[in-house]
Amino acid sequence: MPTYDFICNTCQNRFDLFLTYSEYGVKAVHCTHCNSKDVRRRMTKVRIARSEETRFESMADEFTGIEGMDGDPKALGQLMKKMGREVGEDLPAEFDEVVNRLEAGQSPEEIESILPDLGGDEAPGE
Ligand SMILES: [Zn+2]
C-alpha cells in the first residue's frame, strides 16, 4: 500500500498516510496533529529529478504487482532481471543466482531455503 506524504497548512507538521490508490483524492485527509483539513500533498524530489530514485519508485510500482505472481517464479525472475538492468550497477552474485533459479521455475521459498542469506532488508514490507 502506498504511503503519501502530507504537510499541514495549519500547523506545518508533516505526516504520512496510508491510502489505497482508490482512496487517494477521494478520501478526506485530516492532519494527524491538529485534525485540520487544510493539508497539501508533499512533493518529493523524486518528481523533479530524474534520479535513481525515480527509477526505483517506478520499479517499486511494478513490484506491487508481484503479489499476484505467486506461483509464477519465471515472471518474477524476468521482472527481477529487468530491474537489475535498470539499476545498472554491480549486483551481488546472489542476485543473478536468484534470477536464474526463478527462471528455472524454482519458487522463492525454495530459493530462500537454499540461500538463507537473501532477503533481509530487501524484503518488501507489508
Ligand atoms: Zn495540523
Centre of ligand 1 from the C-alpha of residue 47, in Å: 24
In a domain, 125, yes or no: no
**Do 93 and 58 reside in the same domain of the chain?**
yes
Phi and psi at 8, nearest 5°, equal: -85, 130
Q: What pTM value is reported for the model?
A: 0.35
**Do 75 and 108 reside in the same domain of the chain?**
yes
CA–CA separation, 105 and 76 (whole Å): 10
Burial (Cβ within 10 Å: 0-12, 13-18, ≥19) of residue 81: middle
Instruction: Work out the average pLDDT over 61-78.
Output: 65
**Do 60 and 97 reside in the same domain of the chain?**
yes
Q: What is the span of the domain harbouring residue 12?
A: 3-41
In a domain, 123, yes or no: no
**Do 35 and 65 reside in the same domain of the chain?**
no
Centre of ligand 1 from the C-alpha of residue 3, in Å: 18
CA distances from 55 to 51, 78, 109, 118 (A): 7, 17, 27, 23
Percent of the chain with pLDDT over 70: 66
**Do 35 and 80 reside in the same domain of the chain?**
no
Higher pLDDT: 61 or 5? It is: 5
Q: How many domains does the chain fold into?
A: 2
**In this predicted model, what pLDDT tens digit does every residue of 75-92 receive, in sequence order?**
878 887 787 777 766 777
